């Protein structure tokens, strides 16, 4: 799952999605505590692989996206992730969403949360699928996130440095690629930015720790 998260990061960057990630040494409980302590998150995502119950080891396949039953946004996200994962999993009819009150990963985060069990690691076919399809799975997860946040999906591109070039006035950094997007920051003329993606006249850029969208016409690079 950590290798899958590695594959997911370029998609998060190219789509202007900011994140905080746990470490392999952290537990589920400490990851939740970290997220709640930092606060301000729009979504909490936990990636796991599953295991069959006693007496049925190795015989079960499928993906389950868990959400908390009273979380409307959690349920919405679960359906979006499931739809995208059905596009890449070889048994789409075995991709489910399921409400639960027992799993801390969806019960305890302050943000809407999903726990995704991405196949059964004690099933050879599922284990092979997980290992052989990290890129496709990461892309499906990223598409689920952009669906959830209402953002256009942007494929990862060559990362390059750029500079705000308005000729004088500051350039708005927005949370959506359009003039209706909320303004995150005003970037002065000459400000350095890192360009991660492009979509219909807008760049996905990082500026002073913020990720957002800026008009492509006013950035050189």
The CATH number of the domain where 196 resides is what? Answer: 2.30.30.40
The whole-number pLDDT of residue 56 equals 78
Token reading at 94? 């075995």
Task: List Cα–Cα distances, 110 to 21, 40, 97, in angstroms.
Answer: 16, 9, 20
Containing 114, the helix (H) or strand (E) segment is strand 113-120
Q: What is the CATH number of the domain that holds 80?
A: 3.40.630.40
Task: Pick the last residue of a domain from 87, 115, 149.
Answer: 149
Mean pLDDT of 172-183: 95
Instruction: Print the domain residue range for 44.
Output: 2-149
**Comparing C-alpha atoms, which of 193, 180, 197, 185 is closest to residue 219?**
193
Q: What percent of the chain has pLDDT over 90?
A: 95
Instruction: Give residue-wise pLDDT tens across range 125-142.
Output: 999 999 999 999 999 999
**Are the beta carbons of 133 and 144 closer than 8 angstroms?**
no
pTM value is: 0.93
Handedness of CA 181, 183, 187, 193 (dihedral sign): negative
Q: Which of 149, 176, 201 delimits the end of a domain?
A: 149
Separation between Cα atoms, residue 75 and residue 99, nearest integer Å = 8
Which pLDDT band holds residue 102 (cuts at 50, 70, 90)?
very high
Say whether both 130 and 208 belong to one domain.
no
Is 215 contained in some domain?
Answer: yes
Tokens of 65: 């996206």
User: What is the C-alpha to C-alpha distance for residues 217 and 151, in angstroms, rounded to an integer?
Assistant: 20
CA torsion sign for 34, 43, 2, 68 is positive
Q: How many helices (H) and strands (E) does the chain have?
A: 6, 11
Number of domains observed in the structure of the chain: 2
Phi, psi (deg, nearest 5) at residue 106? -110, -15
Residue 195: count of CB within 10 angstroms of its CB = 21
Predicted confidence (pLDDT) at residue 42 exceeds the cutoff of 80: yes
Mean pLDDT score, 38-46:
96
Tell me whether residue 34 is in a domain: yes
Residue at 154 is within a domain: no
| 142 in the same domain as 37 | yes
Average pLDDT over residues 58-80: 96
- Could you count the other beta carbons within 10 Å of the beta carbon of residue 178? 12
Q: Are residues 145 and 212 in the same domain?
A: no
């Amino acid at each position: 799952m950590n290798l899958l998260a590695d594959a997911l990061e370029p998609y998060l960057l190219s789509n202007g999605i900011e994140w905080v990630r746990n470490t392999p040494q952290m537990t589920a409980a400490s990851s939740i505590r970290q997220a709640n302590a930092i606060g301000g998150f729009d979504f909490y995502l936990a990636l796991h692989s599953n295991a069959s119950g006693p007496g049925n080891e190795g015989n079960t396949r499928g993906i389950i996206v868990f959400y908390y039953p009273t979380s409307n946004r959690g349920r919405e996200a679960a359906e979006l992730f499931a739809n995208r994962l059905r596009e890449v999993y070889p048994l789409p009819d075995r991709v489910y969403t399921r409400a639960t009150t027992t799993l801390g990963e969806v019960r305890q985060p302050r943000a809407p949360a999903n726990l995704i069990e991405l196949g059964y690691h004690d099933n050879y076919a599922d284990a092979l699928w997980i290992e052989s399809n990290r890129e496709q799975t990461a892309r499906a997860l990223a598409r689920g996130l952009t669906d959830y946040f209402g953002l256009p999906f942007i494929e990862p591109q060559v990362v390059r440095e750029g500079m705000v070039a308005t000729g004088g006035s500051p350039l708005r950094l927005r949370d959506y690629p359009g003039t209706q997007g909320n303004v995150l920051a005003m970037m002065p003329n000459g400000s350095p930015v890192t360009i991660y993606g492009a979509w219909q006249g807008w760049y996905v850029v990082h500026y002073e720790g913020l990720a957002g969208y800026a008009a492509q016409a006013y950035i050189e690079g």
